[in-house]
C-alpha cells in the first residue's frame, strides 16, 4: 500500500500546536500546507520540524512508515489563505486562543471552502456554538482538541456544534485514527470539554489538600506520578473500578457509601491565590525555577518521558 495519502491537510497557525499537528499529519503520510500570517513563523516552523524529525528518526521514534526526508517533502508553507486551502480535504486551525480571532478566520474560510472539506479547531476552551454558529459550512465544522504535545500524547477530543453533520464527526474520527491519534467523541458540548474537567477536579482537590496542610506539594505530585498516574497511563478510572473489585457492581456495593462520605467532605472551589498559591509556588520553584531556561529543560525531560511511555504503550499493543 502506498503510505502517501490522498488529499492535503492545511494547518492554520504555525506555533507550538500547529507544528506538532503538521508532524503528526506528515507521519500519517498526508501532504501538509502550513499557513500563517507571519512568514517568519512559517520559516521557523519548517526549520523546527526538520530538526525534530531528524532527531526522532535517529532515536527511532519517528511516526509512520516514511523516512524523515520523505515526510519533510510532504510539508510546505504558505502565507496566502486561498492558495493554502485550495484542494485541501481537512483544515486544522491552531491560531491563538482568542474568540474574535478564531471567529474571524472561520468567517474567512467559510467564504472560500467547498462543501466537502472539514474545518477543525484546536481550541482548548472555546465552545463550538461560540466558534461556528452562523457559518454557511457549520455542518463541516468541529473542535478537534489535542493534548500538548500531540506528537506523544495521542488523545484528541472531538466536539461537534449542534448542527455539525454526523458524517463530519465520523470522518474526523477516522482521519485521527489513520494518523495514529486517539480520538474520543464528546457527544454534546460542555465547558472545559472532558479532559480539562477531569484535570480541574484533580487540581482543585490537590490545592485543598495542600492548603489544609494534609500533604506537602511535592508529595501531592508524587501521589499522582507514582500512584494514580501509573494506572491511568493504561486504563481509565471506570475500568480501574471494575478491576479493583469483582466487577463494577461489586465495586459500587463495596465502596459507594465510602466514596459519597469522602466526596461530601470536599470543600468549596479554591481561590487559587493567597497563602496556598505562595506555598505551592515556592515548592515548584525549588524543584524547577520559573525562568525560561529551567522550564524548557524540564519540559524537554517531560517530553522525553512521554516519548518513552508512548513507545512502551505501542510495544505492549503490538505484543
Ligand atoms: P501559538 O501562540 O504558539 O501559535 C499561534 C500561531 O498562530 C502563531 O504562529 C501566529 O503567528 C499564528 N496566527 C495568529 N493569527 C493568525 C491568523 N489569523 N491566521 C494564521 N495564523 C495566525 O499558539 P499555540 O500554543 O500553538 O495554540 C494554538 C491553539 O491550540 C490555541 O487555540 C490553543 O488553545 C490550542 N491548544 C494549545 C495547547 C497548548 O498546550 N499550547 C494544547 C491544546 C490546544
| ipTM, interface predicted TM-score of the complex | 0.99
pLDDT level of residue 315 (50, 70, 90 thresholds): confident
Domain ranges of the chain: 8-185, 195-287
**Looking at ligand 1, which atom is closest to the CA of residue 93?**
29
User: What is the pLDDT at residue 165?
Assistant: 98
User: What is the pLDDT at residue 60?
Assistant: 86
CB contact at 8 A, 118 and 90: yes
User: What is the pLDDT at residue 314?
Assistant: 84
31-35 and 141-146 beta bridge pairing: unpaired
Q: Which of 37, 96, 146, 192 to mutate to test the pocket of ligand 1 (most atoms within 8 A of CB)?
A: 96
Distance CA 118, CA 142 (A): 8
**Residue 210: HSE in the Cβ half-sphere, 13 Å Cα cutoff:** 28
**CATH fold of 8-185:** Rossmann fold (3.40.50)
User: What is the pLDDT at residue 2?
Assistant: 64
pLDDT level of residue 61 (50, 70, 90 thresholds): confident
For the stretch 282-311, what's the b/e string if a residue is b when 16 or more beta carbons lie within 10 angstroms of its beta carbon?
A: ebeeeeeeeeeeeeeeeeeeeeeebbeebe
Nearest CA, atom 8, ligand 1: 15
107 phi and psi, to 5 degrees? Answer: -65, -40
Q: What are the cell numbers at 4? A: 502517501
Indicate the SS3 state at residue 9: strand
Task: Please list the helix, strand and coil fractions of the chain in percent, rounded to the nearest 5, in that order.
Answer: 55, 15, 35
Distance CA 281, CA 278 (A): 5
pLDDT level of residue 141 (50, 70, 90 thresholds): very high
Sign of the Cα torsion 262, 263, 266, 271 reads positive
H or E, element range at 31? strand 31-35
- Mean of the pLDDT values across residues 38-51? 97
pLDDT in tens, 182-193: 999 999 999 999
User: What is the pLDDT at residue 83?
Assistant: 95
pLDDT in tens, 283-314: 999 999 999 999 999 999 999 999 999 889 98
Distance CA 30, CA 89 (A): 10
Dist. CA 57 → ligand 1 center (Å): 26
User: What is the pLDDT at residue 311?
Assistant: 86
CATH code that applies to domain 195-287 = 1.10.1040.10
Q: Which of 10, 13, 109 to mutate to test the pocket of ligand 1 (most atoms within 8 A of CB)?
A: 13
Sign of the Cα torsion 311, 312, 317, 318 reads positive
pLDDT in tens, 191-246: 999 999 999 999 999 999 999 999 999 999 999 999 999 999 999 999 999 999 99
User: What is the pLDDT at residue 319?
Assistant: 74
- Mean of the pLDDT values across residues 83-100? 97
Percent pLDDT > 90 in the chain is 93
Residue the block writes with cell 491511568: 232
Checking if the pLDDT of 1 tops 80, the result is no
Residue 27's nearest CA partner among 317, 232, 302, 310 is 310
pLDDT level of residue 3 (50, 70, 90 thresholds): confident
13 lines ligand 1 (CB under 6 A): yes
**Residue 306: HSE in the Cβ half-sphere, 13 Å Cα cutoff:** 15
Checking if the pLDDT of 86 tops 60, the result is yes
Amino acid at each position: 500500500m502506498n503510505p502517501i495519502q490522498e488529499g492535503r491537510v492545511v494547518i492554520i497557525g504555525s506555533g507550538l500546536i500547529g507544528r506538532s499537528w503538521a508532524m503528526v499529519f506528515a507521519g500519517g503520510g498526508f501532504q501538509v500546507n502550513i499557513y500563517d500570517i507571519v512568514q517568519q513563523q512559517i520559516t521557523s516552523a519548517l526549520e523546527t520540524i526538520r530538526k525534530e524529525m531528524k532527531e526522532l528518526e535517529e532515536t527511532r521514534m519517528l511516526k509512520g512508515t516514511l523516512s524523515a526526508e520523505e515526510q519533510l517533502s510532504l510539508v510546505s508553507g504558505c502565507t496566502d489563505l486561498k492558495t493554502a486551502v485550495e484542494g485541501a480535504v481537512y483544515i486544522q486551525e491552531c491560531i491563538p486562543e482568542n474568540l474574535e480571532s478564531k471567529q474571524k478566520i472561520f468567517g474567512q474560510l467559510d467564504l472560500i471552502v467547498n462543501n466537502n472539506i472539514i474545518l477543525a479547531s484546536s481550541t482548548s476552551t472555546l465552545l463550538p456554538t461560540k466558534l461556528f454558529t452562523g457559518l454557511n459550512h457549520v455542518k463541516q465544522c468541529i473542535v478537534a482538541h489535542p493534548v500538548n504535545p500531540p506528537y506523544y500524547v495521542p488523545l484528541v477530543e472531538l466536539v461537534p456544534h449542534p448542527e455539525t453533520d454526523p458524517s463530519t464527526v465520523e470522518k474526523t474520527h477516522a482521519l485521527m485514527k489513520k494518523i495514529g491519534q486517539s480520538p474520543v467523541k464528546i457527544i454534546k458540548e460542555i465547558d472545559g470539554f472532558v479532559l480539562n474537567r477531569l484535570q480541574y477536579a484533580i487540581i482543585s482537590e490537590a490545592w485543598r489538600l495542600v492548603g489544609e496542610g494534609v500533604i506537602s506539594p511535592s508529595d501531592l505530585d508524587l501521589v499522582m506520578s507514582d500512584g494514580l498516574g501509573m494506572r491511568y497511563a493504561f486504563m481509565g478510572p471506570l475500568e480501574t473500578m471494575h478491576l479493583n473489585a469483582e466487577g463494577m457492581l461489586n465495586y459500587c456495593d463495596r465502596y459507594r457509601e465510602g466514596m459519597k462520605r469522602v466526596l461530601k467532605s470536599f470543600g468549596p472551589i479554591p481561590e487559587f491565590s493567597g497563602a496556598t498559591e505562595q506555598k505551592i509556588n515556592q515548592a515548584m520553584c525549588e524543584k524547577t525555577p520559573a525562568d525560561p531556561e529551567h522550564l524548557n529543560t524540564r519540559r524537554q525531560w517531560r517530553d522525553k518521558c512521554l516519548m518513552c511511555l508512548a513507545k512502551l504503550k505501542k510495544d505492549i499493543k503490538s505484543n
